[in-house]
Structure 1
């Protein structure tokens, strides 16, 4: 069980409870073929959800990936100055089989490089 999975699971559970949803209701809202048992394992950090599951959470609940991945080190202005077509990133992520942890690392790298370039 990784820290990434544990932290992501905590955020997903927090989101579900904030919206007063059971695990079954949460699955139905997301339109996934996950079940209560799978949601339980995700919330406990035992498994990593798919990129499609993450995408659905972000779209259905109108949250940012920054909040979901708990990326405190990335300043909003750092991200906003980088022109990114997120649909294209999502397409590439699916083609390459990126995990949510990979996507978090990519966002952190973009922020670091952008910050370094702005300090030159």
Structure 2
């Protein structure tokens, strides 16, 4: 189970850097805490469907693109 959290975190970090977003900016766009973004990126957070939807919206992409 840890592996999928790490892969997802790396994808979020990659997308964030592609958009030139800081963790703080992404957190604001997704209406979640900055520390939560950090925890996602380092693979220590089990992300809910609600947060996945918020992240996709913040990146202006479809949800499935978070799992490519």
Common fold by TM > 0.5: yes
Alignment: residue pair count: 68
Q: Which runs of 5+ in 1 are unaligned?
A: 71-120
TM-score of the aligned structures, taking structure 1 as reference length: 0.51
| Deviations, residues 75-113 of structure 1 (Å, cap 9, x unaligned) | xxxxxxxxxxxxxxxxxxxxxxxxxxxxxxxxxxxxxxx
Alignment of 1:44 with 2:42, yes or no, is yes
The superposition leaves residues 21-61 of structure 1 with CA deviations (integer Å, 9 ceiling, x where unpaired) of 111111011122x22x2211110111122211110122232
TM-score (norm 2): 0.83
The match for 1:59 is 57
- CA–CA separation in structure 2 for the residues paired with 1:48 and 1:19: 23
The alignment's C-alpha RMSD in Å is 1.6
